[in-house]
Amino acid sequence: MPRNEMSKDELKVRVLKLKHKLYEDQVNQLITNPKVLAHKYLDEVLNIIDEYRM
């Protein structure tokens, strides 16, 4: 797990990639529970934050 500094722009790019992935997940699943998707992707954002110190 890297412990590098992350710029605001780098963080924004990673979050935008997750946003795109979330949209694709939602489209690919016909029956989607929004809370489950939100929980999954918020966990991923928290993991990204844990990887870096800002």
Amino acid 33: pLDDT: 76
Map out the domains of the chain as residue ranges. 8-51
> Could you list the pLDDT tens digit for every one of the 54 residues in the chain?
455 677 888 888 998 998 888 888 766 665 567 787 788 888 998 888 888 765
Amino acid 1: pLDDT: 47
Amino acid 8: pLDDT: 84
Residue 14 contacts by C-beta under 8 Å, 6 or more apart in sequence?
A: 48
